[in-house]
Structure 1
Amino acid sequence: MKIPLQYMIETFFTLASIPSPSGNTDHAIAWVEAELRQLGVSSVRTNKGALLATIPGAVDQQRRLLTAHVDTLGAMVREIKKNGRLKLSMIGGFPWNAVEGEHCQIETADGRIYTGTILTTKASVHVYSRETQKMERTDEVMEVRIDEKVTSKEDVLALGINVGDFVSFDPRVTVTDSGFIKSRHLDDKASVAILLGVLKQIKESGLQLPYTTHVLVSNNEEIGYGGNASIPENTVEYVAVDMGAIGEGQTTDEHCVSICAKDSTGPYHYGLRKHFVQLAEELGLQYRVDLYPFYGSDASAALRAGYDVVHGLIGPGIDASHSHERTHQESFENTAKLILAYLQSPITTVQGGTS
């Protein structure tokens, strides 16, 4: 089964470089919208600013929906300090030490861009010695050093920077000769790139899907409500394509497609999970079944919102989630192949899957 692997990697590289913290995703959504148009896939914007694409299938009375989210972790200016530095408020869940020392950019309300670095208030070891090592990283001790000649609050305000401005983290995308992809925001721009690769293959091969299928590029997943609306009528299966978490006690690795059995919200649909496993084994894919104890997806958000759908969660295995993440191109490939096989198979209710 052909997979446009290089296209997916290049797509991720481009998309990761477009800042899109939750709440400020319009540029990334516009880029995906233009890419869908190039692929010949129709899409519409939702009221929440997400993107809903549709691929007509042979059967329209029962539909599938796949989702991946383009919003990322980030921050917002909480306070402009007297010394010209910025206090931040987190967007999404991450520890401050995960972004300490990271380059960032501040976008003003009128579109001006300034760069900076996220540091502690006592970053210099030569001045503060062991104090900086012992300091607990909290909102109160983290700040942005702006790359402009500013030494006061008035200097910063003169730049047009204000409370409420968005702060994005430099992704620093690197693709190694050994096939590893390391970057911020693999969660979940990797999955958006994978879905675009799947759509590219479907369109270029002229593949006729058995069911009308929607792809929702959501834009509020990191804050809990990205995919809980705009689900088209007749949707019976809802699959979130999101990262598989790697760590102690987990089975997922950077080369596999991870199939989630349960996250913090509870089990995913058992019949659909078994269907994914069966397809992966038939194709000889690298896969792992896993539980994510501190995780929730757009699919689980849809169930909490009251939608009567069969829900599932799969995705590429990604190391160091919500930090400087890494995966391997084999994980892209395994995930894309499973999605393509799934889209050509009977829906779970037709197969009599266990609820």
Structure 2
Amino acid sequence: MTRLTIDADYLAKILKKLLSIPSPTGYTDTIVRFVAKELAGFDLNVELTRRGAIRAVRHGGTHLGARALVAHVDTLGAQVKFLKENGRLALVPIGTWSARFAEGARTTVFTEKGGYRGTILPLKASGHTFNDEVDQLPIGWDFVEMRVDARARNAGDLAHLGIEVGDIVAIDPQAEFLDSGFIVSRHLDNKAGVAVMLAALKAIHDEKAETPVDIHWLFTIAEEVGVGASSVLTADVASLVVIDNGTTAPGQNSDEFGVTISTADQSGPFDYHLTKKLKELCQTNDIRYQKDVFRYYRSDSASAVVAGADVRTALITFGVDGSHGYERIHMHALRSLAELVTAYVLSPVEITRDFQPTANLKGFTHQPIKEASPELSSDIESEDLED
């Protein structure tokens, strides 16, 4: 077995730190600095794109056919739409999430002068005033507002505080780490994925493990708005494994325990051979797993491929109950994912043809097309079979 032992205490500790740093899309400088310093502690040279996406390369046997792992540091949030005459803020969401989960959230609005605390409330919030009308109010961003915890009785007061249209609003995570292993918090998508990557990297660093090819550790800053890994990949990367949340819900096969391997999302199927390899690594390393298909889901892989990256892509996830709301996961899934990451980066490269951007048919991959039967097993072509 090639999986390495994961420091679960470090995983939980780093996740707590990540959750404590506000990082809605568009306001990620602080968390980028934190992750970059953590990577430097593993003796890696950290590179940042102009806007702050992170790349740290751990060198292996060759730079050809490099493997990349990616998670995103940005989270959902909100933005000031306008200053209301009642002294409150109209909001629009950053990313796709329901105002149902915004109601009652504690928040910070970040201005050029500093942050102000506040709460997102429905337009009719007082039970003593509106009685049943509170429950009859429709759900939507047009029906909530942010109450700023400062003297603000009108739009002028808000402007005097320095609050402007477009200011970013961060939502408190309200994280709880339970003795049972469950973690309940907002923004586990995808702070938990970042923690998984860092825990896997720590295990590899501590073991001084050698990998067959370079491994690119990537952290993106705008996945929640669809940009993701569109500009952080280099030409020598042949495969991209995304670490993000799975959708544990009725009608889905994801689970809060073990690894959930996604075979497709709304952008289409993931790479057949890379996905198969990850499944087989789970089997040979005794890592619990299940497979799922995600319908309303898009990740860093889609942004990379749309931007023109010719890479094999796969998605491995931790099951999340209540995704894009008040989320719940379990440490078992995070540890399992980190173990799979170590097994993957240490595993041999089978598709050596991928070392070159283009090549002839020799060494090209095979997919089974014959009807399955025991008699056919000996008839499968063996020449250049690579997965």
Q: Which moved more, 1:68-77 or 1:122-131?
A: 122-131
1:8 counterpart SS class: helix
Question: Equivalent pairs: percent with the same residue?
Answer: 37
Counterpart amino acid of residue 181 in structure 2: G
User: CA shift at 1:348, angstroms?
Assistant: 5.2
Offset, 1:172: 0.8
* Structure possessing the higher radius of gyration over alpha carbons: 2
Moved more, 73-82 or 132-141: 132-141
Q: Is the 8 A contact 1:96 1:137 kept in 2?
A: yes
**For each residue in 1:296-317, what CA deviation from the matched residue of structure 2 results, as whole angstroms up to 9, or x when unmatched?**
1111211111211111010211
- Give, in angstroms, the shift of residue 199 of structure 1: 1.0
Which residue of 22, 46, 50 maps to 1:47?
50
Q: Which amino acid aligns with 1:47?
A: R
Report the 3-state secondary structure (helix = DSSP H, G, I; strand = E; otherwise coil) of the residue aligned with 2:64: strand
Structure 2 match to 1:83: 86
Are the structure 2 counterparts of residues 354 and 342 from structure 1 closer, same or farther at C-alpha, using a change threshold of 3 Å? farther
Q: Is the 8 A contact 1:122 1:132 kept in 2?
A: yes
Of the structure 1 ranges 228-237 and 50-59, higher mean CA displacement relative to structure 2 is found in 228-237
Alpha-carbon contact 2:212-2:349 (below 8 Å) kept: no
CA distance in 2, matches of 1:353, 1:96: 46
Counterpart of 1:16, as a letter, is L
Instruction: Specify the alignment match of 1:153 in structure 2.
Output: 155
| Structure-2 residue corresponding to 1:16 | 19
Q: Structure 1 residue 352: deviation in Å?
A: 6.3
Instruction: Choose from 312, 315, 318 the match for 1:313.
Output: 315
Inter-partner Cα distance in structure 2 for 1:138 and 1:205: 50
Return the offset for 1:130: 2.0
Q: Which secondary structure does the structure 2 equivalent of 1:61 belong to?
A: coil
Distance 2:162 2:69 in 1: 40
Aligned twin of 1:224: 226
Q: Which residue of 1 aligns with 2:98?
A: 95
Would the alpha carbon gap of residues 203 and 164 (structure 1) be closer, same or farther in structure 2, given more than 3 Å must change? same
Question: 1:348 and 1:84, CA in 2 relative to 1: closer, same or farther beyond 3 A?
Answer: farther
The TM-score with structure 1 as length reference comes to 0.97
2:31 counterpart of 1:28: yes
Change (3 A) 1:259 1:151: same
Find the residue that maps to 1:209 and give its secondary structure: coil
| RMSD, matched Cα | 1.3
Hey, what's the Cα distance between the residues in 2 that align with 1:245 and 1:283?
24
CA distance in structure 1 between the partners assigned to 2:192 and 2:27 by the alignment: 19
* 1:322 aligns to 2:324 (yes or no): yes
Assess if the C-alpha contact under 8 Å between 2:54 and 2:232 holds in 1.
no
Task: For 1:170-181, list aligned pairs within 5 A.
Answer: 170-181=172-183
The one-letter amino acid paired with 1:308 is: D
Q: Amino acid of the residue matched to residue 14 of structure 1?
A: K
Which SS does the other structure have where 2:214 is aligned? strand
Cα distance in 2 for partners of 1:128, 1:256 equals 46
Which residue identity is paired with 1:104? T
Describe the SS at the equivalent of 1:76: strand
Runs of 4+ with deviation above 4 angstroms:
351-355
d(CA) in 2 for partners of 1:130, 1:152: 27
Structure 1 equivalent of residue 111 of structure 2: 108
Q: Given residue 116 of structure 1, which amino acid in structure 2 is its aligned partner?
A: G
* Superimposed CA distance per residue, residues 179-211 of structure 1 (whole angstroms, 9 cap, x where no aligned partner): 111111110010101101111111111101111
The equivalent of 2:279 in structure 1 is 277
Counterpart Cα distance in 2 of 1:261 and 1:293: 11
> Structure 2-normalised TM-score?
0.89
Change (3 A) 1:175 1:346: same
8 Å contact from structure 2 (residues 173, 186) kept in 1: yes
Instruction: Using the TM superposition, give the Cα deviation of residue 353 of structure 1 relative to its aligned residue in structure 2, in angstroms.
Output: 4.9
Shift of 1:126: 2.2
Give the C-alpha shift of residue 109 in structure 1. Answer: 2.1
Alignment-mate amino acid for residue 344 of structure 1 = L
Q: Does 1:208 align with 2:204?
A: no
Matches of 2:154 and 2:145, distance apart in 1: 14
Residues 188 and 354 of structure 1, relative CA distance in 2, 3 Å threshold: farther
The residue that corresponds to 2:200 in the other structure is 198
- Give the CA deviation at 1:233: 2.0
How many Å apart are 1:354 and its aligned residue? Answer: 4.8
Q: For 1:349, which of 348, 351, 354 is the aligned residue?
A: 351
Matched residue of 2:25: which SS?
coil
Q: What corresponds to 1:6 in structure 2?
A: 9
Residue in 1 aligned with 2:382? none
Partner-residue secondary structure (3-state), 1:182 = strand
- Give ranges in structure 1 of 5+ residues lacking alignment: none
CA 1:268–1:144: 2 relative to 1, 3 Å: same
Query: Aligned to 1:66, which of 64, 69, 75?
Result: 69
CA contact (8 A) 2:257 2:333 kept: yes
Cα distance between partner residues in 2 of 1:33 and 1:252: 31
Shift of 1:282: 1.1
Q: How many residues align?
A: 354
Q: CA deviation at 1:129?
A: 2.0
Tell me the CA shift for residue 230 of structure 1.
2.2
Partner SS state of residue 63, structure 2: strand
